[in-house]
Structure formats: C-alpha cells, structure tokens
Amino acid sequence: MTALPLVLKLLLALVVIAAGVYDVLWRRIPNWLVLPGFLLGLGLNALLGSDYAPGIKEAALGAAVAFGVYFPLYVLGGMGAGDVKLMTAIGAIVGWKNWLVIFIFSGILGGVIALAIVLSKGRLRQTFWNLGYILWELVHLRSPRRAGAEFDVRSGKGLTMPHGAVVALGCLFFLGGGFLIGA
C-alpha cells in the first residue's frame, strides 16, 4: 500500500459510500457519481504530483488495470456496467498498487458475504453446480449467460448481491488498514 493524501482518502470514501448505498437501495451505480470521481481522481493526482499522491501516471494505470479486469466480467454477464465504472474511478483515485489491495479486500469480503447469502437461501449445492458450469463454459471460451437468465446478473433471476456495496466495504477496509500502518 502506498500512502494517500487526505483529500484522496476523503474522495474515495465519499464516492464508495454513496455508490454502496445507492447500489443497495436501487441496484445501480449512477454515472453522475462515478464520472466525477474518475475525473477528480485523475485531476487531483495530476495536481498533487507523485511526491504526495500516486500521480497522474499511476492514477491512469490504476483506471486502466481496473477496467481491464472488470470489463471482461461485464461482457461475460457476471458484473454490471456500474461496477466496472466504479472500480475504474477507484483506480483513478488510488493508483494501480492500491487498487490491487482494494480488489483483494473486496474479493475476500465478497466471498464471505456470498457464502452467507448462499447458505441463508439453502442454495449451496446449486451454487457449486452453477460455479462448475460457469468454469466449464469459460474454459471453452463461451459466455455462461447463454445457458439461461440465472447466469446473467442483469436478468434478476439469479442469486445476486450489490457488488458496489462490497467494493465500498473493501475500500473502507483499505482506508482503515492505512490508518493502522500510518499510511
């Protein structure tokens, strides 16, 4: 993790908390939220320079890495477009190294939350079967969502969770961890 100036920490917290709440309530992450976050992330990093912030190069690379990881998931039907844009904005705010830490935190938290949802719905066996099917289709370079609506997050028929809220939690863990190590 690399240290972030307070203004970038505040921007990150503001964007992800708003996105998380909005995603829980309306299952969308609006462009009017992520676009300013993206532009402010790039602008503040350019203004502050690499001595006090990730810098414009790191911020642009953070946005590119986030987009490169999340866009294929969107194309395959496993992620919403708002999730792609949110993570791209986060990459622009924190840079690529910090984005990777947030990605890992979000992945771990998302896995724990997903397991809790699956267990509470009594769908553990079906979920493991679906996971095997998804992996089979991906290995054969096919989109799993062709098999039915339950494999497409946009259909509303599958078991889903608001990923924006999970990402918000991952970012808050990141920010809390930074305070613990003095970053």
168 Cβ neighbours under 8 A, 6+ residues apart: 16, 17, 19, 20, 21
User: Are the beta carbons of 76 and 144 closer than 8 angstroms?
Assistant: yes
CA angle at residue 165 from 163 to 167, to 5 degrees?
Answer: 70
28: its two tokens: 């969308």
Instruction: Give the model's pLDDT for residue 126.
Output: 87
pLDDT computed for residue 130 by the predictor: 84
What is residue 133's predicted lDDT score, i.e. its pLDDT? 87
> Is residue 157 within 8 Å of 126, Cβ to Cβ?
no
The low-confidence residues of the chain, meaning pLDDT below 70, are 149-158, 178-183
